[in-house]
Amino acid sequence: MINIVVVSHSAQLARGVEELARQMMRGDGCKLVLAAGVDDAEHPIGTDAIKVMEAIESVADGAGILVLMDLGSALLSAETALDLLDPQLAAKVRLCSAPLVEGTLAAVVAANSGAGLEQVLAEAQGALLAKQVQLGEAAPAVKSVELPLTHGKSVSWTVQNPHGLHARPAARLAETLAPFDTELVLEKQGQCANPRSLNQLALLQVRHGDTVRLIADGPQAEQALAAFRTLAEQHFGETVSEQQLPSLHGIPVAESVTSGPVLQALSFWPTVTERPIGADDVLTEQQRLREALQHTLGDLGRLAERTGTLIGKPQAAIFGAHSMLLDDPDLQQAAYTRIAQQQCSAEQAWRQEMEVIIEDYRALDDEYMRARELDVRDMLRRTLSHLQQQPLLPITLTAPSILVMDELMPSDVVMLDRRLVLGICLSGGNALSHSAILAKAMGIPMVVGMNDCMSKTRSGQKAMLDAARGVLQLSH
């Protein structure tokens, strides 16, 4: 246990700091004591080395003691107190130059979570960085963390707290995650932070409506993720009013206003289990892939025919282009060679080849061409579905509804029943994707990039979609 001593010229100021700090403390992970003011009714402002010494002695049971001070003479009193202490106790004490309020809060959260003395000291000393970043006085980059985003399991949450993850909910999060034996990263829009650090959480600047992802890798990863989800569902210890449901905002694709019930649907991806193969299985896997590709080409032909009939030949050419890419002999041969050389399944070989193409598209400078990565993923999904014998069923609506999804593939769009789709809202997507182009050609109002539409809507909920402004207005 690391204990904290606050030294201040003003007893009233110290009590205010203590009141703030105790809002961050929910357990007995540390002790916080004050050594503030002097015993002079007429001149109470000042510090007393004896008071500081007695305060330190009162928390001597800790493994370490951090002392925070406000002004210059408070430092002198603290240094004098160290000289008066028993040397063994004095050796456990560290004087900290951090700002009194911010440093105390950061130190208390770290100490209460079980951090050691050096870590508590570091948290206190870094407490001003988030404020400096917000005011443009320091570089905005969040300190990098070691756990790659591709590792571990994860869970996402859209923060509904009106003020985001400010000090109190951030402290609750750090405290909740402290006990677990696992590596943890909290990610927001590509920025990563240590969720056990109040300072790192502050640097992420998580606001209302931001989606964060906790990534865990280690023996207690599942428990940490479960604890995070439970805390998130409790809004990190705060009460969130639902009297006024928010308007959700995104990027408009087609201009129109419509209203009706929400229907949530999840994009489907086949479940693929990676498996090694033996040398005797290579020809079998190559043949499996060959047949799956032929089935996929047949699907694309039928999609082009349907699109040409319902929309027009220019839009049907989208799926003609898909067929040309898929029917590329060099691409197919590369997958067959990968199966033979790596002795891997058809699913694994095809996924690896297609992911190379996907990443090539994503790396392009032209935004229109970058959006073509969705077409490649659409083809990959369809071929995997044939390999796994998991059919891609069309999205079914039983009544006119506003369709809310995470993403929508081009082949899904042309299979929609236009009479029942009042509009489409996607949490992801790209206004230049072929999904958006097809929806616009079909006369379906569509908004993409509506980050929190999945977490803040529910099926059956009444809503009005103003696609011209990219706004989904929800009702109770």
- Which of the residues are catalytic? 9, 166, 434
- Is the distance from CB of 34 to CB of 18 less than 8 angstroms? yes
Strands 2-8, 64-69: pairing is parallel
DSSP string, 268-305: --------B--GGGHHHHHHHHHHHHHHHHHHHHHHHH
Distance CA 180, CA 174 (A): 11
CA pair distance 376, 357, nearest whole angstrom: 7
CA distances from 22 to 9, 16, 52, 323, 394 (A): 20, 10, 20, 64, 54
Would you call 5 helix, strand, or coil by DSSP?
Answer: strand
Report in angstroms the alpha-carbon separations of 215 from 180, 230, 407: 13, 15, 22
How far, in Å, CA of 204 to CA of 166, rounded?
10
The angle that helices 313-326 and 282-310 make with each other, rounded to 10 degrees, is 170
Adjacency order of strands within the sheet including 191-193: 153-158, 211-217, 183-188, 191-193
Unique residue bearing structure tokens 């590329």: 328
Strand partners, 212: 157
Question: Checking DSSP bridges between strand 257-264 and strand 401-405, what pairing results, if any?
Answer: parallel
Distances (CA, A) of 105 to 25, 102, 123, 278: 9, 5, 9, 59
Spell out the residues 6+ positions from residue 473 whose beta carbon is closer than 8 angstroms to its own: 247, 463, 464, 465, 466
Tell me the backbone φ, ψ of residue 396, rounded to 5 degrees: -105, 125
C-alpha 181/C-alpha 166 separation (Å) is 25
